[in-house]
Chains A and B, each alone.
Chain A
Amino acid sequence: MSAVDQTVVAYERPPADASSATPMQRERAVTIFEKGQEGRRAFEAPALDVPEVEGLIPASARRAEPARLPNVSEPELVRHYVRLSRRNFDLDSGFYPLGSCTMKHNPRLHERVTALSGHARLHPLQDPKRAQGALELMYNLERSLGEVAGLPHVCLQPSAGSHGELAGLLVTRAYHEARGDHRTKVLAPDTAHGTNPATVTIAGYEVVPVKTSPDGGVDVEDLRAKADSQVACLMLTNPNTLGVFDPNIEEIAKIVHGVEATLYNDGANLNAVMGISRPGDMGFDIVHYNLHKSFTQPHGGGGPGSGPIAVSDRIAPYLPVPVIQKLADGTFDLTSTPTDGPGSKTIGKLRGFQGNYGCFVRSYAYICSLGGPGLQDASETAVLNANYLLARLQELVGDRLPLAFGERCMHEFVLSGTVMKREVGIRILDLAKRLLDHGFHPPTVYFPLLVDEALLIEPTETETKETLDAFAEAVADIIREAEEDPSIAQSAPYTTPVRRLDEATAAKRPVLRQPL
């Protein structure tokens, strides 16, 4: 154990004093619309180089008042947004163990290659014959993702995980309808991410929740009871949001296929199993990937994302168009009217053009960097890091924050704050807010809904052991501090640019824009 002890960083408890504001707290938030002066500008229009003609636009169509945008110089503009940026916590600055979000390092190489003009200034409607590099990249990415999922046909288009879910249910619907089978229900476990049921509704189905068994997996008997000929699909996240790999996955697949429904994998947690276990081999018909999670597209403060799907042979004809084809002469084509194979009985277009190509470039570069062995190493290390952090936390605060399900985990785990709330007097929210003072982004809180006072922790593979140790120490210190005085955590944070915000008033009397 000496190796563990040596790497624990020296720990200093952060201040818990609200009486003297920090420099950033003293800086009042002022929007760009409250800055600038008439006459200032950052933009200079090119000179008018054609003969000027009056009256080209009828007066009735013309704008009566210009849009009241700011008038700022470039220095003002740059300083405003740089200062704003400093009011954000970000992954490059610190540990961000947000569960089910896979906040792994974003390699800077990806930003460089995405910015190459051949990628960045390529028009989406460029003739496919003059966009061969892009199509080759997308084709290679499709093949690579298909190999990771163990499903042969990939559509890169969905713009986010939830969009992938929608694509998955729409191809499911088309598949059933083509067989003359009109189904009405979609099953989803009660641990599912909220987008699953929301997507089910939009796809025109009724959602039926399936219970979770004490081991954290799907309650197989409940599933068996609910799986009937009206069920179009079971949407499953495996490993699920409890960090549990479903021990009965083979049986689940058998039950679902037994009623001729499709089995859909929400790939939010793919980072646990790359090169270790493949959704296709588990029996899934459809899987979505979150390129912004497992394949490290930067999250950008909440977007952009990208949510490609992979499907089995029987689903492939229904995939959205356009599709990429490799032609006999080795060149690539992009077509909306494939005569056979993927997309030949398409559900249609899912969005504009062919997807978030900028995200594809980054994820493709990532796959090239890591290769097959590297992807497997990433997942193995993610699972190692999660189990190590779990062990450290259980060693330090296991009596206050026990593991909600099972003994070990995959790449993430859920602790329950029920005991801490009762015995120490602070809620998970308080713990999360006090973590901010320690310089850590808190894990996901109050999700999954199934666990009372849930704390969902996903460290990812790119963190060092030293960071994991420091985080565990911080959690332990917060609980120690709260044992003495719970009010400290209850009023935290103290050191952030603003302190706890009044969300109730924001919702009750919404102010959603700068008044001008």
Chain B
Amino acid sequence: MSRYTAVTDTDRAAMLDAIGVGSLEEIFEAQIPAGVRLQGGLDLPDGLPEQDVYAHLLELSKKNTSAEDEITFLGAGMYDHYIPAAIDMLLGRSEFLTPYTPYQPEVSQGGLQVMFEYQTAICELTGLDVSNASVYEGPSAVAAAGYLAKLASPKRPRYLVSGALHPDSRQTLETLSVGYGTEVVEIPLKDGVTDVDALRELLADGGDQVSAVIFQQPNFLGAIEDVQAISDLAHEQGALSICQADPIALGVLEAPGNQGVDVCVGEGQALGNRLDFGGPSFGFFAATNAHIRRMPGRIAGETTDADGRRGFVLTLQTREQHIRREKATSNICTSQALNALAGVVYLSWLGRDGLVELGELLIQRTHYARETLTAIEGVTALHGQPVVREFAISLPDGVDVGEVIALAQDRGVNPGFDLGRVRDDWKGGLLVALTEQRSRSDIDRLAEVLDESIRAYQGGERSPLGRSGSTQEVAA
């Protein structure tokens, strides 16, 4: 008996008696072939008391450098926003934390109404008609949107994908589309944004083979894309316009649904969810009404009960696996309900004005940071496009970005993401992200440390921990 079970010896005797066997072993023997029984138990250590497990997990946590331990400008898909205390408290409530999918709506009205509210908030942010109750995370949402386009145009075996789509989204799409045989063709970039002329050419030749044009707003390099122009070109050839968006930036940028986008998806972590070394978070997924029956995942809808009271249920389930099986619109059978709850609480906490104020603050501080960093000798902007909360710079020629990041981290500042880790032609680039938790004095400190680290690198200094990034990648 462990501390999580409660069958005493007395219980066990009575239970075995009721079952009509002399021992539990009889039950196993009767059912499991002897040849596949494990002899001698699992080769794992014995269990530990709660306080020892806590101590072990605390020790492991201390071996990590978290956003609490350094001034961090690392973003590239997940962001260190402040999470209001109310979210911790609400997500910790048993009634939200411990139920399963709302299969019994009469006793799941809380969770179902949360989904309905969440869907409303996502529709508002994206300017689209319908949102599902969320999918796994951002890049998975992009891949799911790709599959929707495949269902909408089964005879078009190609996606055109912006070179500034998040590399994880691009790679997830590639991994998943292998199965159903759609190819991914890249649209090149021009000065940090999707090259619209190149897109026009790609569509002019074989546009009828393209099911979707997929891009990101703001893009991976932080730059604002011309969403309307990209959407218009896609539509001219009968392809869908699929946009991965940063939900925080949508507080100030035009809603993609108002710029011709058919499906808007994205990573929801920035909305009240922890960094958690990458998950769990949620992916949001919204589309125009035309695609309602091709949507993946759970969707909550409003209805009434037997006495006419307002209530909520999971709906449009004929899209789903338990009914459609192999003909389902997706194999995703869950939503990230708890993470989506954090999302809608966060958006309600910010409120209509707060989301705009947050966006405006980020625009100003990001501009200040870009100006301040590009004033460092040898540092230039990687592109000159307008940005909201993230921007790319180039370090001086001959400077190894991974080494400079390591030196800066030794000085207590994480300056951002080494762009050379994802693309060879971005070598020398650094992606810097802001949240409201990074003040002007933090930015000034970043500039000081980055300058110092570049000079230190040029003077031959190396971090005792070694270059930032995978050891393997250096070897490669």
Contact = CB atoms under 8 A, between A and B. Distances in A.
A213 B322 CA distance: 22
B261 interface: no
Nearest 3 A/B pairs, CB to CB:
A118-B61, A353-B278, A300-B338
Interface string A293-310: 000001111111110000
Given A81-B90, A82-B93, A501 B305 contact: yes
B386 A57 contact: yes
B449 to A, nearest CB: 16
A226 interface: no
Contacts of A358: 274, 276-277, 279-280
B90 to A, nearest CB: 5
Contact of B99 (A91, A130, A203, A491): A91
Given A351-B140, A352-B139, A499 B253 contact: no
Interface residues on B, range: 35 or more
Contacts of B3: 369
A198 B328 contact: yes
A353 B279 contact: yes
Interface stretch (B29-37, B194-202, B230-238, B450-458): B29-37
Given A130-B64, A282-B36, A371-B47, 18 more contacts: A41-B353, A48-B361, A51-B368, A57-B388, A61-B224, A61-B386, A67-B250, A69-B351, A69-B354, A90-B97, A173-B179, A198-B330, A204-B178, A304-B339, A335-B470, A357-B277, A499-B106, A503-B105
B41 interface: yes
A515 to B, nearest CB: 9
Residue among A137, A144, A354, A358 with the most chain B CB within 10 A? A358
B46 A159 contact: no
Contacts of A81: 90, 114, 341, 345
Contact of A349 (B131, B175, B277, B312): B175
A127 B406 contact: yes
Contact of B178 (A57, A170, A281, A369): A170
Contact of A247 (B31, B92, B224, B367): B31
Contacts of A369: 2-4, 47-48, 50, 53
Interface in A4-27: 4, 7, 18, 21, 25
Residue among A84, A380, A441, A464 with the most chain B CB within 10 A? A84
A326 to B, nearest CB: 12
Contact of A109 (B46, B50, B306): B50
Given A78-B86, A461-B5, A498 B311 contact: yes
Interface string A138-160: 00000010011010000000011
Nearest to B3: A369
Contact of A510 (B77, B292, B348): B292
A225 interface: no
B338 A301 contact: yes
A124 B275 contact: yes
Contact of A250 (B36, B72, B337, B468): B36
Contacts of A122: 64-67, 275-277
Contact of A41 (B134, B277, B311, B354): B354
B324 A159 contact: no
Contacts of B409: 127, 130
Residue among A136, A203, A390, A501 with the most chain B CB within 10 A? A501
Nearest to A395: B18
Interface residues of A, number: 222
A484 interface: no
Contacts, number: 759
A201 interface: yes
B309 A499 contact: yes
A88 interface: yes
Contacts of A56: 363-364, 367, 386
A289 to B, nearest CB: 14
Contact of B344 (A32, A78, A390, A432): A32
A28 B357 CA distance: 33
A73 B290 CA distance: 37
Interface string A266-281: 0000000111111001
Contacts of B267: 352
Contact of B42 (A71, A136, A274, A336): A274
Residue among B41, B175, B299 with the most chain A CB within 10 A? B175
A137 B328 CA distance: 36
A72 B98 contact: no
Contacts of A444: 103
B321 A197 contact: yes
Given A89-B108, A134-B64, A195-B333, A77 B349 contact: yes
A445 B119 CA distance: 27
A164 B130 CA distance: 28
A512 B299 contact: yes
B351 to A, nearest CB: 5
Given A144-B44, A385-B7, A436 B107 contact: yes
B377 interface: no
B472 A333 contact: yes
A369 B341 CA distance: 29
Contact of A88 (B47, B61, B107): B107
Interface string B282-308: 100000000010000011111111110
A303 B332 CA distance: 11
Contacts of B96: 85, 88, 90, 300-301
A129 B121 CA distance: 39
Interface in B33-83: 33, 35-38, 41-48, 50, 52-54, 56-69, 72, 74, 76-78, 80
B5 A378 contact: yes
Contacts of A361: 57
22 contacts: A18-B307, A33-B120, A60-B228, A61-B254, A67-B124, A85-B110, A122-B67, A130-B465, A194-B322, A198-B331, A202-B330, A281-B36, A281-B38, A300-B339, A302-B335, A348-B175, A368-B45, A368-B47, A374-B2, A377-B2, A385-B15, A464-B7
A176 interface: no
Contact of B470 (A303, A336, A364, A374): A336
A151 B283 CA distance: 31
B177 to A, nearest CB: 9
Contacts of A349: 139, 168, 171-172, 175
A82 B87 CA distance: 11
Contacts of B120: 31, 33, 513-514, 516
A129 B386 contact: no
Contacts of B393: none
Contacts of A33: 117, 120
A262 to B, nearest CB: 15
B24 A359 contact: no
B66 A91 contact: no
Interface stretch (A93-101, A418-426, A475-483): A93-101
Contacts of B171: 348-349
A181 B108 CA distance: 48
Interface string A25-52: 1001101110010001111011011111
B375 interface: no
A62 B254 contact: yes
B303 A277 contact: no
A52 B322 contact: no
A333 B124 CA distance: 41
A51 B113 CA distance: 43
Contacts of A150: 38
A447 B125 CA distance: 38
A211 interface: no
A194 B328 contact: yes
Nearest to A46: B436
Nearest to A162: B331
Contact of A299 (B1, B35, B100, B117): B100
B53 A501 contact: no
B355 interface: yes
Contacts of A180: none
Contacts of B180: 202-204
